[in-house]
Chain A
Amino acid sequence: MSNDVAIVGIGMHPFGRHEGVSGMEQGAIAVRAALQDANVKWEDIEFAFGGSMAAGAPDTMVSMLGLTGLQFINVANGCATGGSALFSAVNTIKAGMAELGIAIGFDKHERGAFRVNTKGAGLSDWYGASGLALTTQFFGMKINRYMHDYGISHETLAKVGAKAFRNGAKNPMAWRRQELSEAQVAESAMLSYPLTQYMFCSPGEGGVALILAPAESAHKYTDKPVFLKAAAVRSRRFGSFEVMAPHIALEHSVGPTVDASKAAYEMAGMGPEDIDIAQLQDTEVGAEIMHMAENGFCEHGEQERMIAMGETEIGGRLPVNTDGGCLANGEPIGASGLRQVYENVLQLRGEAGARQVPNEPKTAYTHVYGAPGISGVTILAR
Chain B
Amino acid sequence: MGQQVPVAEGVFTFPSESPHLIGSRCTNCGNHMFPTQGSCPKCASTDTEQVELANRGTLWTWTIQGYPPKAPPYAGDADPKSFEAFGVGYVELPGQVKVETRLTVADPDQLRIGMEMEMVLVPLTTDDDGNEVVTFAFAPTSTGVES
Contact = CB atoms under 8 A, between A and B. Distances in A.
A324 to B, nearest CB: 23
Interface in B100-136: 100-102, 108, 113, 124, 135-136
Contacts, number: 123
A97 interface: no
A145 B86 contact: no
Interface in A139-173: 140-142, 144-145, 148
A126 B7 contact: yes
Instruction: Using C-beta atoms within 8 Å of the partner chain, give the interface range for chain A.
Output: 35 or more
Interface residues of B, number: 44
B97 A130 contact: no
B140 interface: no
A126 B32 CA distance: 20
A73 interface: no
Contacts of A191: 66-67
A132 B122 CA distance: 14
B98 A132 contact: no
Contacts of A145: 60-61, 113
B60 to A, nearest CB: 7
A293 to B, nearest CB: 17
B133 to A, nearest CB: 8
B4 interface: no
A193 B102 contact: no
Contacts of A112: 70
Contacts of B96: 250
A131 interface: yes
A141 B23 contact: no
Given A115-B70, A238-B42, A249-B31, A192 B65 contact: yes
Contacts of B86: 131
Nearest to A113: B70
B127 to A, nearest CB: 11
A245 interface: yes
A130 B98 contact: no
A130 B60 contact: no
Given A129-B124, A192-B65, A193-B108, A248 B73 contact: no
A47 B17 CA distance: 63
Q: Which of A127, A131, A194 counts the most chain B CB atoms within 10 A? A: A131
B63 A140 contact: yes
Contacts of A127: 73
Interface string B34-54: 110000011000000000000
A28 interface: no
A190 interface: yes
A124 interface: yes
A118 B90 contact: no
A125 B88 CA distance: 17
A247 B97 contact: yes
Nearest to A128: B73
B61 A144 contact: yes
B8 A141 contact: no
Contact of B73 (A129, A141, A148, A247): A129
B72 A130 contact: no
A190 to B, nearest CB: 5
A106 B116 CA distance: 46
A201 to B, nearest CB: 15
Interface in A237-289: 238, 245-250
Interface of A: 112-113, 115-116, 118, 124-134, 137, 140-142, 144-145, 148, 189-195, 238, 245-250
Given A113-B69, A247-B34, 9 more contacts: A113-B67, A127-B73, A128-B69, A128-B72, A130-B102, A133-B73, A192-B64, A193-B63, A247-B99
Please give me the 6 A-B residue pairs with the lowest Cβ-Cβ distance, nearest first.
Answer: A128-B73, A140-B63, A126-B8, A145-B61, A129-B75, A247-B34
13 contacts: A115-B73, A118-B73, A126-B135, A128-B74, A129-B7, A129-B8, A130-B124, A132-B101, A140-B88, A144-B61, A148-B61, A249-B42, A249-B98
Interface of B: 7-8, 11, 23, 31-35, 41-42, 60-67, 69-70, 72-76, 86, 88-90, 92, 95-102, 108, 113, 124, 135-136
